[in-house]
Structure 1
Amino acid sequence: MSVMVSAFDAQRTRTSEKYTTYPPEVLPMFVAEMDAVLAEPIRDALVAAVANGDTGYVGHGRALPEAFADFAAERWSWRVDPDLVRTTTDVSVAAVETLRRVIEPGDQVVVMPPVYPPFWEYVAEAGGSATEVPLLPPTDPGDASSTTAGWRMDLDGVRRAFEDGARTVLLCNPHNPLGLVHPRDELAALARLAAEYDAVVVSDEIHAPLTHADAVFTPFLDSCPVAADLGVALTSASKAWNLAGTKCALLIGASERARAWFDGMPAEVVERTGILGYTASVAAFRAGGPWLASLLAELAANRRTLAERLGEVLPGARYRQPQASYLAWVDLGALPFGDDPAPVLVDRARVALSRGLDFGRQGAGHVRLNFGCSAETLDEALSRLATAR
């Protein structure tokens, strides 16, 4: 059974940003939210909570830390200590509050564009200054059958940033918008480099459960022994199970240093966790595996469809299949759409995609396309995009 619904049906019944930003005639494929039904165990847990009136302030139990620890052990053979897991509203709050503990005002924080646009905002909100060390693009042109594995971190650039005074890296693993799953050896090399300069790595791992079958996700904290002493991982069930509005994320440490950072945060960081998000997250990590497997199968099919058809629909478009997520980073630089193709495609094709420039200067001529949708919706999007030439 498909876990996806028609985007047009979703537009008629849902009120979230994805379905209300544009008029109904525009196909929404921008914000990272899927046209998916709720997993049954999550739906049942939320219905029961509402029926029971369990909608107050979040409690202080261990259900979610233990559920995530079990999920991480089963999926990635990663041993997580539930006592070193905290919850908060969402990954953005987790990132800002962690940065506030590990940097001083004005400190440099390394970010690796093209990257999720709020990363710059996280750094600024925490009082830091973003230092850009762009990812290195593939050395070969590749084709639609290639994956984003050709991209890699610029570790020499990170070293130069450390030599210039940076002491923190805000990592995206898997990397949004590329869907790049950083290999273990590169993560370990980053950890050893950070240790050399007494730096901290804050790793946003929200897309990890969405890793495709042709890649292997490695948690940063588990990449090598030294990584555990200098990092914090941030994650949530929100991307994999489509729960962004329920508001719950996790901060994960693996050292006494991390425990001290967590304990030094204001109590409100945890208190702002949404109780319905907590309830949904426990259900997701405990019982959401079968639904997630169905989702990944549908995403894999959509990923292949894009690889097979995008070049026909938009000759000159370049795309490498993401190793994780439902987000495609598409290079339209060879087409006559300019540096900012997304508004052009809304006007000409009535398809809303994310602006590449929002992800950094490297996004000129690019768009990010959300293929977390039904096969029929993707087919309609491709048909519409063909009219934009």
Structure 2
Amino acid sequence: MNAADRPGPSSTVVGREVPGFDDLDPEWLRNRPGVKWAGVGPDVLPAWVADMDFPAPAVVRDALRAHVDGGDLGYPDWPDGTPLRPLFARRMAERYGWQADASRVREQSDLIQSVQVVLHLATAPGDAIAVQTPNYPPFLATLDTMGRKTVAVPTTDTDTGWRMDLAALADGVARHGCKALLLVNPHNPTGHVLTRAELEEIASIARRHDLLVVSDEIHAELTHAPHRHIPFASLSPDAAARTVTLTSASKAFNIAGLRCMVTHYGPDRLLALRDAEPPELYGAVSELGVVGTEAAWLHGDAWQRDLLAVLDRNRHRVRDVLAARLPAVRHHMPDGTYLAWLDAGRLAFPKAPVQTVLERGAVRLEGGEWFGASAASCLRLNFATSARLLDEVLDRVVGALAPLQP
């Protein structure tokens, strides 16, 4: 794939609606069984969980339908692993220039499951793990329930956006003797995409302290120009040898329900530990999950180009509305993902921010202390929806919060 063919934002979407993305039927959305819409009342608009409102790509749905219509839902024939192993390696080479080794890829059903497997194999209760905060709540909950010591690395608010505090990372790792770094890039919830300079500094810290780097790159294909994703393992041979890379088609193609992801093991010892476990101890991926992921990665790039253009338009819309109508709320347009992180700490809330927006605006957002202690006054808004629904969400959020501004 040439660089010109890689998915990226398209200015042709600006100012017009896009079929398949902007013609969403609210009744269809409310009848969906997924948690995003089923988890709210009939008058509430959901902009919380990280699912998009858009239908999965037609190429994925067609592939799944054809496989089911073929009538064979028996045991798959994968003696050397699923077809996703070489396909992942090819995609990494074509998109990022990273020569990942397909033989080091293993499948899991879920990102959180893979994080837990890696931490179980590589660390022990009481070990310190560095992690960005705010962060995806299941990651923080995983560290807590597994008895690992969380070493929070704050994300700071700068004039140019949210930034990982690398000085705090170096200090925290040294003081607490961290065994691993759980790195989320692109970052959920702020949408920051780490630059090469930032990644190289993190790699230097990891090398000095012999850190395992568990790199969640599940939002990698949702970066917005001029930002580009750089796989952590691609930085150097040392980085490759200490990094476990986690990714999936689930976010970039809206197919999380297929429960399929891949894990690339850089450390030899860790891969050996993984393969020495009983073969079905951590379960296996569904054949339909593999079929859907394969279809997305092989045939979904045109759909993804349209998606990125829509998301780019929507992130600008969020920025413009907040700047004009909620100036007391701190917000930086995300470099990647479809998530907007709002710091509403200057507002006079009568109760928790998420609950306030729900009761006063009938919009369900995500946020608060689940993302870390520093996030109590913050909100996460999912803008992966149609232009009309996004405008309604923003109108309701503004209506709920504008009276609370100083």
Query: In the alignment, what sits opposite 1:158?
Result: 170
From 246, 266, 274, the equivalent of 1:262 is: 274
Structure 2 CA distance, aligned partners of 1:153 and 1:57? Answer: 48
What TM-score, normalized by structure 2, do the two folds share? Answer: 0.88
Offset at residue 15 of structure 1 (A): 0.4
Contact 2:121-2:270 at 8 Å conserved across structures? no
CA offsets per residue over residues 45-81 of structure 1, 9 Å max, x none? 1101221234445553441112222221221111111
Q: Does 1:349 align with 2:361?
A: yes
* 1:9-158 correspondence to structure 2 within 5 Å: 9-57=27-75, 59-60=77-78, 61-138=81-158, 140=159, 148=161, 150-158=162-170
Of 321-330 and 188-197, the range deviating more from structure 2: 188-197
**C-alpha displacement of 1:160:** 3.4
The answer to whether structure 1 residue 322 and structure 2 residue 334 are counterparts is yes
1:337–1:353 CA distance, 2 compared to 1 (3 A)? same
Q: How far does residue 357 in structure 1 lie from its aligned partner after superposition?
A: 2.2
Q: Distance in 1 between matches of 2:323 and 2:25?
A: 23
Using the alignment, how far apart are the partners of 2:145 and 2:89 within structure 1? Answer: 30
What are the Cα deviations for residues 219-245 of structure 1, in whole angstroms up to 9, with x where unaligned? 011122210111101111111111111
Give the equivalent residue in structure 1 for 2:20.
3
Kindly provide the amino acid, as one letter, of the partner of residue 101 in structure 1.
Answer: L
Per-residue Cα deviation, 1:194-217 (whole angstroms, up to 9, x for no partner): 222222010111000101112011
Write the letter of the residue equivalent to 2:320. E
Measure the CA separation in 2 of the matches of 1:318 and 1:106: 36
Q: Which moved more, 1:305-314 or 1:124-133?
A: 124-133
TM-score (norm 1): 0.92
Q: Distance in 2 between matches of 1:58 and 1:265?
A: 21
* Consecutive unaligned residues in structure 1, runs of 5 or more: 141-145
Please say if residues 80 and 254 of structure 1, whose CA atoms lie closer than 8 Å, have aligned partners that are also in contact. no
Between stretches 95-104 and 328-337, larger displacement belongs to 328-337
Question: How many aligned residue pairs are there?
Answer: 381
Give deviations 1:292-340, integer Å, cap 9, x for gaps: 1100000000011111112333341221011110000011222222573
Partner of residue 143, structure 1: none
SS in 1 for 2:262: strand
Distance 1:122 1:303 in 2: 30
Aligned mate of 2:184, from 172, 177, 181: 172
Matched residues in 2 for 1:100 and 1:250: separation?
A: 17
What displacement does 1:163 show? Answer: 3.8
* Greater displacement, 355-364 / 92-101: 355-364
Distance 2:131 2:350 in 1: 26
Q: Is the 8 A contact 2:233 2:239 kept in 1?
A: yes
Aligned-residue CA RMSD (Å)? 2.0
Cα contact 1:101–1:265 (8 A) shared by 2: no
Distance in 2, matches of 1:12 and 1:232, equals 38
- My pick for the range that moved more, 30-39 or 70-79, is 70-79
2:314 maps to 302
How far the C-alpha of 1:127 sits from its partner, in A, is 4.1
Q: What amino acid maps onto 2:135 in structure 1?
A: V
What secondary structure, in the 3-state scheme, does the structure 1 residue paired with 2:252 have?
A: coil
Q: One-letter code of the match for 1:49?
A: H
* Structure 1 residues 2 and 59, CA gap change in structure 2 (3 angstroms): farther
Does the 8 Å contact 1:10/1:19 carry over to 2? no
For the Cα contact (< 8 Å) 2:166–2:201, is it kept in 1?
A: no
List gaps (5 residues or longer) in structure 2. Answer: 1-17
1:295–1:199 CA distance, 2 compared to 1 (3 A): same
Is residue 153–residue 172 contact of structure 2 (8 Å, CA) maintained in 1? no
